[in-house]
Structure 1
């Protein structure tokens, strides 16, 4: 897949509508958003796009380029020359930056604890929003549909999506899930170590996007008391209802 540089032009021309069947899923960290979205895409044989990975990849790029993350203008400039390549196969959703596979690196703590500094820069969000719409339409046109997940997909990136879902869960459930993912258990010390990557990041990101309360027309799916299979089934039920 060729690299897709991000244009630095932040003007807002009239945009074409999205192509294909688009399932937009938003939600806070630890809600099960990524794993559930991937499985829904597999089940439907749709493409899959993780927009959060794009912000993480840009954060990695800024750090590699020694960009001051507290300098919004510098971060925006870096976003305007961002050599990103991102896959949309749910079984091989690779992320390359300048030809470097950063799939594992962007999940490291140094990225998780700084990505909000990049994701809260408004011009950067606009640049990536446009790129995301291009990727969504291309993937949906090729595969008949796409499941795209993030924090502002249902409201900003793809408010015209065929299905819009807010996937949520209680703070306790979200902390426990991410703790098991990162530390292998949900003991008090592990949960405490995970808190900054969940609660603090959500607090910062909520200054630029609303992903805790469903907007009009968005269906809420609460996964607090659901296991993985139950969460996938709940999302698929919403999709099936929209297609009837």
Structure 2
């Protein structure tokens, strides 16, 4: 291998190592984000050595055989074939188990969509008919091109702001008035579609008060890019006080600081 190729390989490896070190220092803000980040790093740590190994083989073959005027077919090697078949199976098993352990977590897959057209089985005609989850519940309705959040216990409504208490399990029950929308909170690792006539559930818990951006991740018309909002996380005392002071009104979110 020439010095130029060695330099390229070394620089690439150093850049990837630096990137991993930098991204690994970002603290997850919710179990959803922590689970997703953990899965990504597991798969990356498995894929990176394999990628470098394959690249090294390709470089070796290109350098060693580029002047071969009389190429010969590779001789049969059953042991080698069994080895790479077994290795591939192990890698796929690792990927499958890693992904499954995340997908079955109650924060990632809290429930399936509930179809209001199938009333013979579920009978959910509105938010009021949904089952009690034991979490702090927020009813979120998407429409072109805003988000509306309602707090059923206090009859408080907010527009493009969703207030939740810190350190408590929160369930978002989602639906849509018109077309498919998707509630996406990047910093919290929450993403769930909202369907017209259906009720879907997203679940999370956030330990640190603060503001987190909300966007619609499903193209929903001309105003899709403007369909933005925020999650406002406040401590439990502030949250309870805010609900009691704004009962029956359309309220502004409290300051999380």
Q: Same fold (TM over 0.5)?
A: no
Larger RCO, structures 1/2 (Cα 8 Å, 6+ apart): 1
| TM-score class normalised by the smaller sequence | under 0.3
Q: Identify the structure with the greater strand proportion.
A: 2
Q: Could you state the TM-score of these two structures normalised by the residue count of structure 2?
A: 0.23
Q: Identify the structure with the greater helix proportion.
A: 1
Greater Rg by CA: 2
